[in-house]
Amino acid sequence: MSLIKWTPEEFGTSVTQHDEEHKHLFGLLNGLHASVGSGERGSIGRSLDGLIAFVAQHFGAEEENMRKAAYPALDLHRLEHEKLVKTCVNLQQQFHAGATEITEETTAFLRDWLKEHIPHVDRKYGPTLSSMQP
Ligand SMILES: [Fe+2]
Ligand SMILES: [Fe+2]
């Protein structure tokens, strides 16, 4: 069973690029969740690294588009991104140092963060950014 599923009703932002990135992100999180289920540390590490790298790339893409569109809430939005990246990088370092494990609590935390952030924070850039789409 997937941990999280993208639907336009719950997660659509009306910015195609970011909707596609969110779908990809969900796939990576579901992959991490499956790795956790397998209990195989090497697979968990690879899934975690891939997910965190894509999160950083996606946040960068949103911030770049918000900057180009002179989106007024960019600073607040960026702050939310920075907090999550910090948490993820700490987790990643701790995991690779053998000091912590990635569990279903970790993947549930990430799922809940996305379920809060995309509909309530990302969606707000929809009107501004969708008018800039080609
Ligand atoms: Fe996003
Ligand atoms: Fe965002």
Distance of CA 48 from the midpoint of ligand 2 (Å): 19
Distance from the CA of 112 to the center of ligand 1, in angstroms? 13
Ligand nearest the Cα atom of residue 63: 2
Query: Distance, CA 119 to ligand 2 centroid (Å)?
Result: 10
CA distance 63 to 80: 11
Four-residue CA torsion sign, 84, 86, 25, 98: negative
Distance 118 CA to ligand 2 centre (A): 6
Least Cα distance to 88 among 64, 53, 57 occurs for 53
Ligand 1 centroid from CA 67, angstroms: 15
Q: Distance between CA 85 and CA 60 in Å, rounded? A: 11
- Measured in Å, residue 13 CA sits from the centre of ligand 2 at 11
Can you give the pLDDT at residue 1?
Answer: 75
Q: Where does 14-130 sit in CATH, by number?
A: 1.20.120.50
- Amino acid 123: pLDDT: 98
pTM of the full predicted structure?
Answer: 0.96
Return the structure tokens found at 92: 């990643």
pLDDT in tens, the chain (134 residues): 799 999 999 999 999 999 999 999 999 999 999 999 999 999 999 999 999 999 999 999 999 999 999 999 999 999 999 999 999 999 999 999 999 999 999 999 999 999 999 999 999 999 999 887 66
